[in-house]
Amino acid sequence: MRERILNYIEKNSRVDLKELAVLLGTTEAEITQELSDMESEGIICGYHTLIDWDKVTTDRVNALIEVRVTPQRGHGFDDIAQRIYKYPEVNATYLISGGYDLLVSLEGKTLKEVSSFVSQKLSTLENVISTTTHFVLKKYKDHGTILNADTTDERMIMTP
C-alpha cells in the first residue's frame, strides 16, 4: 500500500485523501496513518509545487554546476558536499560518477546571483579544484511532466 500511495502522490500531492482512499481501494484512515508515518520516518520529505517560472518572469535562471573536488581522508566527499549544500542558494547537490564529482543545481536566481555564488563562494572553497557552470536555456520536461504539453484528445467521440 505504501508504494501505491507514494506512486500516486508523487504525481499529485494535492489529492483529496478521501478520494485517494477510493482510488486505491482503502480507507481514508489508513491513508492518513500511512502518510503521517511516512512523514515521520523521513520517507516523505516534502510536498512541492511544479511551476513553469518562465511563464511568470523572465529574469530567473537555473544553473547546473559541475564541481571537481579533492576528497578528504576519513570523510570522502561528504564534508565538502555539506559545505556546499548548506548554502541556501543551492537547490540540489548530487555525488556523480564520471568526469567530475559533485553536481550542484541552482534554481530561480538572477544571472548575477549565480555568478557571484560561483566565483565568490563555490570556487573559493578549500578542496574545490574546478567548476563548470551550465545555464539552463529551456526546460522541456521536469519531474516527469512535459511542460507545454499538447493534451487534446484526438480520439473520435464515440467508438464501439
Partner 1 sequence: MRNPLSEKIVNIKPSGIRKFFDIASEMKDVISLGVGEPDFDTPWHIRDEGIYSLEKGRTFYTSNSGLMELREEICKYIKRRCDITYDPKSDVIITVGGSEAIDIAMRAMLDPGDEVLIPQPSYVSYEPCAVLAGGKPVIIELKNENEFKLTGDELLEAITDKTKILVMPFPNNPTGAMMTRDELKDIARICVEKDIFVLSDEIYSELTYSGDHCSIASLPGMQERTILINGFSKGFAMTGWRLGYACGPAQIIAQMTKIHQFCIMCAPTTSQYAAVEALRNGDKDVALMRESYDQRRRFLMNEFREMGLPCFEPYGAFYVFPCIKEFGMTSEEFAFALLDAKRLAVVPGSAFGDSGEGFIRISYAYSIEKLKVAMGRLREYVEELRSR
Q: What is the binding site for partner 1 (CB under 8 A)?
A: 4, 7-8, 19, 22-25, 153, 155-160
Is the CB of 57 or the CB of 159 nearer to partner 1?
159
- CA separation for the pair 69, 81 (Å, rounded): 9
- CA separation for the pair 40, 38 (Å, rounded): 5
Q: Computed over its alpha carbons, how large is the radius of gyration of the chain?
A: 21
Is the CB of 51 or the CB of 146 nearer to partner 1?
146
Cell 564534508 belongs to which residue? 79
Q: Is the dihedral of CA 96, 98, 102, 104 positive or negative?
A: negative
Is the CB of 137 or the CB of 158 nearer to partner 1?
158
Is the CB of 22 or the CB of 96 nearer to partner 1?
22
- Find residue 132's DSSP bridge partners: 66
Cell 500511495 belongs to which residue? 5
- Which strand (E) or helix (H) includes residue 102? strand 102-109
